[in-house]
Amino acid sequence: MTTSGKSGTIEKLKAHILEQYDIKGDLTPLAGELDLNFKLRSVQGDTFVLKLYAPDRDPQFLDFQTKILSHLETKQFDFQLPRIIKTVEGEPTTLYTDENQQQRSVQLLSWVSGRLWHTVNPATDALRHGLGLVCGQLGTLLQDFDHPFAHREFEWDVAKGLWTKVFLNLFTLEEQSLLKKILNQFEVIQPEYSQLAKTLVHNDANDFNVLVSEDVFNPKLEGLIDFGDAIYTQTVNDLAICCSYAIMGFEDPLEASLPIIKGYHTSFPLEEQALKHLYICIALRLTLSVTKSKINQIEAADNPYLQVSDQAAWKLLHKWIQIDPELAHYRFREACGMSPHPQAHSFVDWALSQEVSLQSLFPTLEKTEVLPLDLSISSLWLGHSEDFNNLDWFDYQLASLQKVHPEKLIAGGYLEARPLYTTATYDKIGNEGPENRCMHLGTDFWVQASTPVHAIYGGEVVVAVQEKGDKKYGGLIILKHHKEGIVFYSLYGHLSAASVNKLTPGGWINQGDRIGEVGCATENGNWSPHLHFQLLLSLLGYTNDFPGVAYVKEKETWQSICPDPNLLFKTEGLKPIEPSVSDQLLADRKKYLGSGMSLQYKEPLYIQRGSGVYLYDHLGRKYLDTVNNVAHVGHEHPRVVKAGQKQMAVLNTNSRYLHDNITTLAEQLKATLPPELSVFHFVNSGSEANELALRMVKAYTGSNEMLVSEVGYHGNTTGCVEISSYKFDGKGGEGAADHVHVFPMPDPFRGKYRGNETGASYAEEVQLLIDQLNRKQKKLGGFIIEPILSCGGQIELPEGFLKKAYASVRKAGGLCISDEVQTGCGRMGKTFWGFQLHEVIPDIITLGKPLGNGHPVAAVVCTKQVASKFANGMEFFNTFGGNPVSCAIASEVLHLVEEEKLQSNALKVGAYLKAELNKLSASFPIMGSIRGQGLFLGIELVTASKQPLETQANYLVNRMKQHGILMSTDGPDHNVIKIKPPLVFSIEDANLLLQTLGRILKEDVMKMI
């Protein structure tokens, strides 16, 4: 019997339902493996599942199904499960004769609402935790239920998974070897595994049987369906199945499994032994899945449902097999709140009973006191990456520090997140974008090369290698120790080549023996000389190496595997200082700072370091910064930093003395400008620049009547807020002052006039305001606008607008100001200044943000005529504006824009990014408009009828942050994603941005239009 196209069959079934259940409704076929399933929608609007069991179904099976569901109906739980709908006669099933005259049992079940798990995107940590909670809860509900059919031989029972061995020959040789590895491992654990606790379990929480609520913002686990595979088996198998499907498609499936395990364990605590075998149970369930698919491909190629997860299962298997089973075990234990390494507590107890002096490690130094060395992300001692990556500098700093504290041993670093590990071996792609290993697992002792190192405990040499390569260990020795029933290892890294050459694995070192000496940079992985000393409770399968730094995310597990060496030394100066943001910091901020100063993101970032296009938080997480146009030539560009440092060391004073820096800067700027703009006044911020420009307008025209754009922003001072519609028309604003006249934002996409041919119409609006002033017999002062409106939402002015508007303003005797605070200094790509895009020459331009690359320096540039009217006898004095340090910094920024060809980079990368965003928008119509110039772009999120989508924009920005990319919204409706990264943004950076955007745009929230 088939379900489709047989209207006769459907009609007959409908009649059967009417007769047996007194329900009239429509039937739609659903997917199923052995039985036929239909969705029944009654005329009253209720929904049910109609199951038409296969004719050859064992009657025991049906009895089992009925009893298990009836058992569950007697229980209390807060999720949905199917309930049996009884016939009018009160029967749980009926008999139905199909068109082949075969008798089939029929069962009607309640409909479990929600979306199938496999359609949900993203399957968040919270959702996976919910899945674990529900599956665990279901496990507890079934603890007091049993049925003879649950004890059948069943091919989907993980415990019986070895049957797949017979079918290995169906696979390629490579696949066979992978599957064999799993089956062999499973065979090895059989004696222990068979002793694990057993219960009756659902056994099939796959992504087609789990339902999630319709709420895409805060999805919750709704329920579970299909008890067809329920079986009496090791309870852990149920969790393994849950994990197997819910972690498919993740870059890091181990990480993805942890919330599920945590949830399951919360509802239904697992035995420690079960966690030991969970890794292999997951692998075996996947083996079952791919083997069944292979058999089905051969036997029932026409039922696609049977191979639904084959590709994803293989992909996961390939990833899973790369994971160290022991590490997985420890991470599972961590998820369940157990000490990740089972021996960790015993080791700590033993270690605390020990007295080990630092002198036993370095007997020749005779030092007992430690001087802690801060190498954390925010460390000012470490300073700029350019410095700390310079060995001579590092050596010099250390030597200087040692000179001041000759009696102390410079050391530290356990659990410290550090910016030092910059080579590719420390990076990986995790579930939320790139991740970097940076948490130090040992203690470093910064002593001179050749300092003798002695073994603090006797032990067997298990590793003695010379690990070559930049930022590696160089000479590495690992000793194995047995103490009071505990096995542990001590790792000595960055030794000399000679130290390891004389040792061979298997050899023995006595306590107190000299095992070697600290290596010099050429032999220790290019570090300043130091000993990296680490304790390990397991080698985790490593034979020639062992990680000395870990991912901060995995801290608890690694901390447990690698206990604090100071447990032995008990030295005050070695106490670990773990990176954290205290709640106090947020509280203090609220206590001391004005509440108008907002923090970005739902969970604020604690940024500690910048470099190029990246910002780093206190845990060393790297964020691609696509929004900080202030860091114009890259965060903390070493040359800008040096320029400021050098000048500050010599002189910083006001501009009343002659100094080269201020004139050099003026000269440099002048070279980028048309000859008309030739007089410079230096100030400290964009707001100050615009404030000064307003004074110039008043001085030149005698009027303060200003024409400003709707949603324009020009700064935070009283004068600037008065000309910023973004502020006075926004939250807390009080509308335009009498002398301020607002023309409609020239937005060709969603503005008053739409399309690219609207320049004249918008310019006409400016003229209308001038006419109004004329009618009131008021004189025009000036007109101010940005060449691309930033706060307006990266709005590109329509062609011809500025030219026409300038002509009207000038005709009325007003001055034209171009606010270049955001758009200047090469960001536009095509031109150095924004106004040059429009073929106009302003009377005044104001500069700010990018000029100092983060240092407060800004400027006003105007014509000679304006300058001479402004200089009416009143001195213009600015305490800080134009000081030698600020000018040195700004000069260096301009040099770098030129030397590093950053304007042409903005043109190249900006054009590439814009083109690729346009391509992306073809698949995601929510991206209504892609606009901007160079590296000053915007993506406006709208519905098909151009309604703004603020919620989606917010969601996108927060999700991008979770994936390590900083973005921000703008525009009056907060629905424009702005992109204005440091100009060193590369094609690779653009690709990372595009890939991540492409991924988040596919998520359910983004489809809500």
Ligand X SMILES: Cc1ncc(COP(=O)(O)O)c(C=O)c1O
Contact 372, 412 (CB under 8 A): yes
786 binds ligand X (CB under 6 A): yes
Question: In b/e form, how buried is each residue of 261-273, taking b as 16+ CB within 10 angstroms?
Answer: bbbbbbbbebeee
Closest residue by Cα to residue 696 from 866, 848, 874: 866
Q: Which stretch binds ligand X (CB under 6 A): 587-595, 643-651, 686-694, 903-911?
A: 686-694
Q: Least distance (Å) from ligand X to the CB of residue 630? A: 9
Q: Is the four-CA dihedral 466, 472, 476, 479 of positive or negative sign?
A: negative
Cβ count near 224 (within 10 Å): 24
- Candidate segments 40-48, 519-527, 818-826, 963-971, binder of ligand X by CB under 6 A: 818-826
Residue 782, beta-bridge partner list: 706, 815
Binding of residue 709 to ligand X (CB under 6 A): no
Nearest-approach distance from CB 980 to ligand X, in angstroms: 10
685 contributes a contact to ligand X by CB under 6 A: yes
Considering only the stretches 519-527, 548-556, 819-827, 992-1000, report the one whose residues sit in contact with ligand X under the rule CB under 6 A: 819-827
Min CB(720)–ligand X separation in Å: 7
Q: How would DSSP label each residue in 402-420?
A: HHHSTTSEEEE-TT-B-S-
Does 145 participate in binding ligand X (rule CB under 6 A)?
no
Pairwise CA distance, residues 251 & 431, whole Å? 5
Q: What angle do CA 705, 711, 712 make, to 5 degrees?
A: 55
For ligand X, the binding residue among 23, 398, 561, 821 (CB under 6 A) is 821
Q: How far is the CB of 856 from ligand X (least distance, A)?
A: 7
Size of the site for ligand X (CB under 6 A): 15
Only segment of 603-611, 814-822, 924-932, 976-984 that touches ligand X (CB under 6 A): 814-822
Which one of 105, 538, 687, 818 is in contact with ligand X (CB under 6 A)? 687
CA–CA separation, 573 and 445 (whole Å): 12
Q: Alpha-carbon Rg of the chain, whole angstroms?
A: 35
Task: Tell me which residue has tokens 């109609």.
Answer: 50
Return the structure tokens found at 981.
């990264």
Interface with ligand X, residue 794, by CB under 6 A: no
Measured from the Cβ of residue 228, the count of other Cβ atoms closer than 10 Å reads 20
Query: Does residue 990 sit in helix, strand or coil?
Result: helix
> Quick check: 818 binds ligand X (CB under 6 A)?
no
Q: Is the Cβ of residue 552 or residue 784 nearer to ligand X in the bound state?
A: 784
Per CB under 6 A, does 715 bind ligand X? yes
What's the CA gap between 523 and 526, in Å, rounded?
7
The smaller minimum CB distance to ligand X, of residues 593 and 651, is found at: 593
Please, which of residues 741-780 interact with ligand X by CB under 6 A? none
- CB 894, min distance to ligand X, A: 18
Choices 146-154, 418-426, 681-689, 920-928; region in contact with ligand X by CB under 6 A? 681-689
Which CB sits closer to ligand X, 82 or 715? 715
Question: Considering the rule CB under 6 A, would residue 690 count as an interface residue with ligand X?
Answer: yes
Helices (H) and strands (E) in the chain, counts: 29, 42
Print the SS3 string covering 908-932: HHHHHHHHHHHHHHHHCCCEEEEEE
Q: Closest CB to ligand X belongs to which residue?
A: 686
Nearest distance, CB of residue 789 and ligand X, angstroms = 8
The 976-979 sheet, strands edge to edge: 927-933, 936-941, 976-979, 968-970
Site for ligand X, residues 67 to 96, rule: CB under 6 A: none
Q: Which stretch binds ligand X (CB under 6 A): 16-24, 185-193, 679-687, 755-763?
A: 679-687
CA distances from 761 to 609, 741, 757 (A): 47, 17, 8
Q: How far is the CB of 716 from ligand X (least distance, A)?
A: 6
Instruction: Output the smallest distance, CB 847 to ligand X, in A.
Output: 10
When the beta carbons of 25 and 793 are compared against ligand X, the nearer one is 793
Binding mask 187-226 for ligand X (x = CB under 6 A): ----------------------------------------
Question: In 3D, which of 929, 918, 943 has the Cα closest to residue 977?
Answer: 929
Shortest spacing between CB 715 and ligand X, in angstroms: 4
Task: Identify the CA nearest to 792 among candidates 716, 714, 732.
Answer: 714
Q: Which one among 204, 334, 432, 819 touches ligand X, defined by CB under 6 A?
A: 819
Q: Which of 309, 499, 790, 975 binds ligand X (CB under 6 A)?
A: 790
Distance CA 612, CA 368 (A): 41
Contact between 629 and ligand X per CB under 6 A: no
Q: How far is the CB of 541 from ligand X (least distance, A)?
A: 53
Instruction: Kindly indicate which of the ranges 110-118, 216-224, 815-823, 932-940 contains the residues binding ligand X, using the contact rule CB under 6 A.
Output: 815-823
Q: Is 325 in the site for ligand X (CB under 6 A)?
A: no
782 binds ligand X (CB under 6 A): no
Closer residue to ligand X, CB minimum distance, 202 or 827:
827
Q: Is 668 exposed, middle or buried (0-12, 13-18, 19+ CB in 10 A)?
A: middle
Query: Smallest distance from the beta carbon of 830 to ligand X, in angstroms?
Result: 19
Q: Which of 376, 822, 883, 968 binds ligand X (CB under 6 A)?
A: 822
The residue type found at 881 is G
Q: Whole-number minimum distance, CB 843 to ligand X, in Å?
A: 17
* Residue 710 near ligand X by CB under 6 A: no
CB of 684 to ligand X, least distance (A): 8
User: Who contacts 373 (Cβ-Cβ below 8 Å, separation ≥6)?
Assistant: 381, 401, 410, 411, 412, 413, 444, 446
Question: Please, what is the minimum distance in Å from the beta carbon of residue 877 to ligand X?
Answer: 19
Which span sits near ligand X by CB under 6 A: 70-78, 361-369, 682-690, 926-934?
682-690
Using CB under 6 A as the binding rule, whether residue 848 contacts ligand X is answered as yes
Q: Is 714 in the site for ligand X (CB under 6 A)?
A: yes
Tell me the one-letter amino acid at 122.
P
CB of 791 to ligand X, least distance (A): 6
DSSP code string of 844-862: EEEE-GGGGBTB--EEEEE
Q: What is the rounded distance in angstroms from the CA atom of residue 866 to the CA atom of residue 697?
A: 8
Within 889-908, the residues that bind ligand X by CB under 6 A are none
716 binds ligand X (CB under 6 A): yes
E strands, 507-612, where? 508-509, 514-517, 531-536, 549-550, 607-611
Query: CA dist 987 to 201, 428, 923, 984, Å?
Result: 51, 20, 21, 10
d(C-alpha 257, C-alpha 445), whole Å: 37
Rule CB under 6 A: choose which of 314, 546, 551, 713 binds ligand X. Answer: 713
Burial class (CB in 10 A: 0-12, 13-18, 19+), 747: buried
| Minimum distance, C-beta of residue 691 to ligand X, in the bound complex (Å) | 9
Q: With CB under 6 A as the contact rule, which of the stretches 120-128, 289-297, 552-560, 680-688 interacts with ligand X?
A: 680-688
Can you give 436-449 as a three-state secondary structure string? ECCEECCEEECCCC
> Considering only residues 217-276, where is the footprint of ligand X by CB under 6 A?
none
The region of 85-93, 364-372, 712-720, 734-742 touching ligand X under the rule CB under 6 A is 712-720
Among 136, 573, 644, 686, binds ligand X (CB under 6 A): 686
Q: Whole-number minimum distance, CB 449 to ligand X, in Å?
A: 49
Residues forming the site for ligand X (CB under 6 A):
685-687, 690, 713-716, 786, 790, 819, 821-822, 848-849
